[in-house]
Amino acid sequence: MKALKFFPVVAFSFLPALAHAEMGGEQVFKSVCAMCHASGMMGAPKFGDKKAWEPRIAQGDATLLQHALAGIRKMPARGGKASLTDGEVKAAVEYMVAHAK
């Protein structure tokens, strides 16, 4: 009878971290946010529309991020994609704001 060999499980402990690579702001925008922000659907400020974004930007980055994370008016939390990380949402907000200044 052969002896069983046991290998440390530690080598596989990093796998969950590899399961979700963070998307950048442009990627998140194109895959999630553009659904509404490209056309202004449901009152969303259109991407790049400086006039529509001005009062929102004036509220500050922290407020914009909180609205994107928790949702506001007709916008669902995280744009409706619950699997987005806080960092991905922040990157998308920063991407949209940068194109509205």
Query: Over the stretch 35-58, which tens digit does the pLDDT of each residue have?
Result: 999 999 999 999 999 999 999 999
User: Binning pLDDT at 50, 70 and 90, where does residue 16 land?
Assistant: low
Name residues whose C-beta falls within 8 Å of residue 5's C-beta, 6 or more positions apart in sequence.
Answer: none
Per residue in 17-35, pLDDT (tens digit) is 556 689 999 999 999 999 9
Per residue in 46-94, pLDDT (tens digit) is 999 999 999 999 999 999 999 999 999 999 999 999 999 999 999 999 9
Distance CA 25, CA 33 (A): 10
pLDDT given for residue 21 in this prediction = 82
